[in-house]
């Protein structure tokens, strides 16, 4: 566990859930045919409440790993645990998708015909475990915490994309997940908009310390947000290096001008570039 997280985990002992343990996972697509190995004996321990940033070249197997955790597809061997509960393994190659692990889709996942508030309340209403009033009270309060007061009765299309993305995260959090899974959510955004998204995500995270598994190609984003960076090898992926981001949370954008941030960029950029070059030349050979 990173030293930074260890400190905050101590303070909140017992409160945090959502530790992910990936043990020797292999994923081979189409084993009887083209046999594409996407994940190669990958092991990774993510403590509860950590923001774990997964960085690696295009096509190395990052999404494959996320999908295996989410229960969207099977693994070929190995095991994945969530808080010591086996999600998938030899007897059960595919995890059951569940509200304890939610993939935050950044585009198009909100119902455009429902208000933001109704979108946020939707999951728990469908589950039917809580009463309607309780659900709406909780939805309003979580929206307020995420800076969404005043947008409750707007439709998603009536608010800025930044606010819409907050609504998407709050909607996911309403289901009280242990883990949020993000797959390059801010890929298409310009750097200014991204910086606003990053601060908003951290703001929401500080109030809801779930585990975050976050895939990105963007090193700046990875260092700014993460407790740790997992730099993946080119395909088939497995961690090549794990780096503690020992910049204390809470963070804001002033971090980007700090000496430690620069040092971490220098330490990681070469590693990432090396793997990207390997992936590129492998692609050229295959193509």
Question: Which residues form the interface with ligand ATP (CB under 6 A)?
Answer: 29-30, 36, 38, 56, 58-64, 235
For residue 205, give the nearest of 166, 245, 256 by alpha carbon. 166
Give the shortest CB-252-to-ligand ATP separation in angstroms.
Answer: 28
Nearer to ligand ATP, 100 or 183 (CB): 183
Q: Indicate which of Mg ion, ligand ATP, none lies near residue 177 (CB less than 5 to 8 Å, by partner kind).
A: none
Nearer to ligand ATP, 65 or 223 (CB): 65
Whether the Cβ atoms of residue 215 and residue 69 lie closer than 8 Å to each other: no
Give the shortest CB-164-to-ligand ATP separation in angstroms.
Answer: 23
Q: What angle do CA 44, 273, 223 make, to 5 degrees?
A: 55
Nearer to Mg ion, 56 or 123 (CB): 56
Q: Indicate which of Mg ion, ligand ATP, none lies near residue 235 (CB less than 5 to 8 Å, by partner kind).
A: ligand ATP
The sign of the dihedral angle between the CA atoms of 196, 197, 201, 202 is negative
Give the shortest CB-34-to-ligand ATP separation in angstroms.
Answer: 7
Phi and psi based region of residue 207 (left: phi greater than 0; alpha: psi -120 to 50; beta: remaining): alpha
Q: Indicate which of Mg ion, ligand ATP, none lies near residue 64 (CB less than 5 to 8 Å, by partner kind).
A: ligand ATP
Give the per-residue contact string, 211-250, with Mg ion (x = CB under 5 A; - = no). ----------------------------------------
Q: Which of residues 155-214 bind Mg ion (CB under 5 A)?
A: none
Nearer to ligand ATP, 116 or 216 (CB): 216
Nearer to Mg ion, 189 or 255 (CB): 189
Please work out the total of residues on this chain that contact Mg ion, with binding judged by CB under 5 A: 1
Alpha carbons 133 and 152: distance in angstroms, whole number: 15
Q: Does 63 bind Mg ion (CB under 5 A)?
A: yes
Give the shortest CB-272-to-ligand ATP separation in angstroms.
Answer: 12
Q: Indicate which of Mg ion, ligand ATP, none lies near residue 54 (CB less than 5 to 8 Å, by partner kind).
A: none
Nearer to Mg ion, 63 or 208 (CB): 63
Alpha carbons 162 and 259: distance in angstroms, whole number: 29
Nearer to ligand ATP, 63 or 175 (CB): 63
Q: Indicate which of Mg ion, ligand ATP, none lies near residue 58 (CB less than 5 to 8 Å, by partner kind).
A: ligand ATP
Give the shortest CB-43-to-ligand ATP separation in angstroms.
Answer: 17
């Amino acid at each position: 566990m990173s030293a930074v997280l260890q400190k905050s985990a101590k303070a909140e002992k017992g409160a945090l859930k959502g530790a992910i343990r990936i043990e020797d996972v292999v994923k081979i697509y189409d084993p009887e045919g083209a046999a594409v190995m996407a994940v190669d004996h990958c092991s990774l321990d993510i403590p509860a409440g950590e923001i774990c940033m997964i960085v690696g070249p295009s096509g190395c197997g990052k999404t494959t790993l996320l999908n295996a955790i989410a229960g969207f597809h099977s693994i070929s061997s190995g095991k994945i645990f969530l808080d010591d509960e086996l999600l998938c393994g030899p007897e059960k190659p595919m995890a059951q998708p569940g509200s304890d692990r939610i993939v935050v889709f950044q585009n198009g996942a909100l119902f455009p015909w429902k208000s933001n508030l109704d979108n946020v309340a939707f999951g728990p209403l469908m589950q039917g475990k809580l009463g309607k009033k309780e659900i709406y009270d909780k939805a309003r309060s979580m929206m307020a915490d995420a800076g969404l007061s005043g947008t409750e009765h707007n439709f998603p299309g009536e608010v800025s994309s930044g606010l819409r993305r907050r609504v998407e995260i709050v909607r996911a959090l309403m289901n009280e997940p242990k883990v949020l899974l993000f797959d390059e959510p801010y890929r298409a955004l310009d750097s200014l908009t991204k910086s606003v998204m990053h601060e908003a995500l951290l703001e929401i995270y500080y109030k809801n310390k779930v585990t975050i598994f976050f895939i990105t190609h963007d090193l700046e984003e990875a260092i700014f947000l993460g407790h740790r960076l997992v730099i993946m090898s080119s395909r088939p992926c497995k961690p090549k290096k794990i780096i503690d981001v020992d910049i204390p949370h809470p963070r804001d954008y002033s971090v980007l001008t700090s000496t430690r941030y620069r040092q971490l960029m220098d330490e990681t950029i070469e590693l990432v570039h090396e793997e990207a070059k390997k992936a590129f030349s492998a692609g050229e050979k295959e193509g």
